[in-house]
Structure 1
C-alpha cells in the first residue's frame, strides 16, 4: 500500500508542479554542463600532461597528480564555505567563466606552446581550483534544494545518475577526439561549454541561498512569468 502511494506521488507531483519541472530541467542541464566542462577528462589525462610539462628529475608525474588531488580537496572545502557566503548563482557564473579562461589558456599552451612547459601544470591546477570553487559544486547543491520533499529523493537520484552517464560519455569520446583533432583544440570545446554554462546560469539560475524549498519553487514560477512578459 505504501509503495503504491509513493508511486502515485512520484507520478503526479512533477506533472502538476511546473516549478518542479523547471527545476528538474535546470538541474539536468547544469549537471551536464558541469561534467562537459572537462574535469573528468583532465583528471584522467593529468598524468600524461604532467609528464610532458614537468621534467622527471624535477617532480614526477605521480607527485604532480597527488598535488592535483590535494588541490581538489582544498578548493572543494573552500567551495563549501563560499557557497553560503556568496550564493550559488554568482559562484556558478564566476567559476564557469574562470574555468573557461583556464581552458583557453591551457588549449593554446598545448596547441601553440606559447609559454614554458611547466606553465601547463600551473594551468591545470588553476582550472581545477576554479572549477571546484563553483561549477563542480553548485549543481549538486542545487539538486538538493530545488525539489519538493515528495519527489526530492527520486529526482535527485535521476540528476546524479545523469551526471554519471555524462561522465561515461565524456570519457568514452575523449580519446577518439584527441585522435581526431588533437589535445589542444579539445580544451577550446571545454572552454565553450564553460561559457555556455555561465550564460545559462545568468539567464535561468535563481539565487537559492538561505531560501526554503517553497520559496525556491516560487522563484521558478516568477522566473517563467518574467520571461513571458
Structure 2
C-alpha cells in the first residue's frame, strides 16, 4: 500500500491527528440514535427506570447548540495556532470531549445536555480550524489531497460508530464507547511531530528539520532532499511572513480576498447541502416513510456505512481527477438527489398520495446525496482551507471559515425541525437542492484547480490571476479612452467639415 516509509509516516501522523475529527464525528452522530430512542422508548434508553423528558423544541436545541460552541473558538484559536503551535491547540480538544462524555454518563437532565453539546462545539471549533492546517503542513505536495480526505473519512467514521453502536446499547454504554476515542487521541497524538511550517515561523530551524526528517522517512530520507525541502519551506514562509499582517489583511489584499472567497464558497456549499441536518435527524426522517422495506435504524446504519465507504475512492480520486471536477459532480449530484427526496415527501405528506410501491425512493435519494457529498463537498473544504491561505493568514482565515460553516450549520440544524412543524419536511430538501445547484454554478466560474501544486505555486497563481485581471481591466479602460478620443475627434472633424460646407 505504501511505496515508502515517508508515505507511511505521513499517513500515520494524519490518521492520529484526525482522531480529533473522529471525536467530532461521534458528537455529530450521537443525536440520531439517542433522540429517536428518547421519543419511542425512554426507559430502555436509561438505566434505573429514569429518562430525560424532552420537547420537540428542546430536541432541536440539543442537536443545534453544538454549533453555538463551534462559533466561539475558531477566531481565538486562529491566533493561538500561530503563537503556541498546531499540536498543543489540537491536544486541548481531548479533555473537552472527555469531560463532556463524563457529564452525559453521570447526569441525566436536558439542560446538562445543552452544556455537553456546547462543550463539544467548543472542541469542534478547534478541530475544524487546526486539523486541516496541521494535515496540509505535514504532507508532501503529491499526497496532500489524499491526506486531506482523512478529515472527512474520520468524521464519517465517528458518525458511523454512533450509528453502529447506538441502536444496540443503552444510553450510558454509548457514552462510554464515545469516551474511548478522546482517551486514545491524547495517548497517541502527544508523540506526533509539530508542523515544520510552524517551527520555521518560530525560527526553530533545528526542530523543523527533525520534524521533517521524521515525516519524510527518517534514515530512508535523503539528506539533500530534506535540506532542499526545508530551504524551500523557509523561502515560502519568509516570503509570506514579510507581509505585515492584521485581521483586515484577510480581505484587504487581492490574493487573500480571492483565497477567502474560494474557500467560503465551498464552505457554504458544504453546509447548505444539508448534510449537518440530514445525519442527526436520519432515524427520525426515515421513520416518516410508511411501509418502508427496512426499519429506520437499519436505514440509518446503512446510510452511515455507505457514507464511510464513499470516502475511500475520494482519497484515490482527489489527486488524480483534481478538486474542481469532484466539487462540480458533488454540487449538482447533491442538488438532484435532494430535489428527488423533497418531491417524494411533498407528494406523500402534503398531497397524501400513496407511493408505497416506491417507498424505497427517499432512502435511496438521501443515501445518493450523502455518498455524492462525501466524494467532493465533504472532504474538500479542509483540503482547500489548507492549500489556499498563505502561512501568515492560515490560522485566522481558517477560523473565519469555521465560523462560516458554524453559522450556516446552526441555522440549517435549528430550522430543520421548525420547517417540518410549519411546512413539512419536503421544504428542507428543496432548500438544500437550490443551494447545491447555485453553489455548483459558483464553483464552475470562480474556483481554480490546485491539484499537485505547492503552497508557493498556488499563491503565485492567485497573484498572477489578480495581476492578469488588473491588466485586462486597465486595457479595457485604455480601449474605452481611445474609443472616446476617436469619437471626439470624429465629431470635431464633422463640425469642421460642416463649417466649411456652410
TM class by smaller structure: 0.7 to 0.9
Q: Cα offset for 1:183?
A: 1.2
Q: Decide which structure has the larger Cα Rg and report it.
A: 2
2:448 to 184, 206, 213: 206
How many angstroms does 1:55 deviate by?
4.3
Aligned in 2, Cα 1:155/1:55: closer, same or farther, shift over 3 Å? same
Question: Match of 2:401?
Answer: 159
The answer to whether the 8 Å contact 2:419/2:427 transfers is no
**Aligned equivalent of 2:313:** 78
Is 1:197 the counterpart of 2:439? The answer is yes
Assess if the C-alpha contact under 8 Å between 1:99 and 1:194 holds in 2: yes
Q: What residue number does 1:102 align with?
A: 337
Change (3 A) 1:54 1:181: closer
Higher relative contact order (CA 8 A, sep 6+): 1
- Partners of 2:442 and 2:286 in 1: how far apart? 33
Deviates more, 1:92-101 or 1:18-27: 18-27
User: What stretches of structure 2 of length at least 5 have no aligned partner?
Assistant: 1-81, 84-200, 203-240, 349-354, 474-502
d(CA) in 2 for partners of 1:26, 1:64: 35
Counting matched residue pairs gives 226
Match of 1:60 in 2: 295
The partner residue of 1:133 within 370, 375, 397 is 375
> Partners of 1:16 and 1:51 in 2: how far apart?
49
- Compute the TM-score of the two structures, normalised by the length of structure 2: 0.42
Deviations 1:160-193 (A, max 9, x none): 2331232112112222222333211221111111
Q: Distance in 2 between matches of 1:81 and 1:17?
A: 35
Are the structure 2 counterparts of residues 90 and 175 from structure 1 closer, same or farther at C-alpha, using a change threshold of 3 Å? same
* Aligned residue in 2 for 1:48: 284
Calculate the TM-score normalised by the size of structure 1.
Answer: 0.87
Aligned-pair CA distance for 1:222: 4.2
Number of the residue aligned with 1:25:
261
Q: Distance in 2 between matches of 1:171 and 1:45?
A: 9
Unmatched segments (≥5 aa) in structure 1: none
User: What's the CA shift string for 1:76-127, capped at 9, x where partnerless?
Assistant: 2222222112100111011110010101111111112466112211111111
SS in 2 for 1:53: coil
Work out whether residues 52 and 117 of structure 1, in 8 Å CA contact, stay in contact via their aligned partners in 2: no
Cα–Cα, structure 1 residues 123 and 11, in superposed 2: closer, same or farther, change >3 Å?
same
Cα RMSD, aligned residues only: 2.7
Q: For 1:23-51, what per-residue CA distance to the aligned partner results, in whole angstroms no more than 9, with x for missing partners?
A: 01221232122101111111122112222
Contact 1:9–1:151, Cα closer than 8 Å, also in 2: no
- 2:419 is the alignment partner of 1:177: yes
Residue among 19, 31, 36 paired with 2:272 = 36
Find the residue that maps to 2:391 and give its secondary structure. Answer: coil
1:223/1:197 Cα in 2 relative to 1: closer, same or farther (>3 Å)?
A: farther
Counterpart contact for 1:49–1:121, Cα < 8 Å = no
Q: 2-side partners of 1:10 and 1:79: how far apart?
A: 35
Is the CA contact (8 Å cut-off) linking 1:54 and 1:61 kept in structure 2? no
1:150 aligns with 2:392: yes
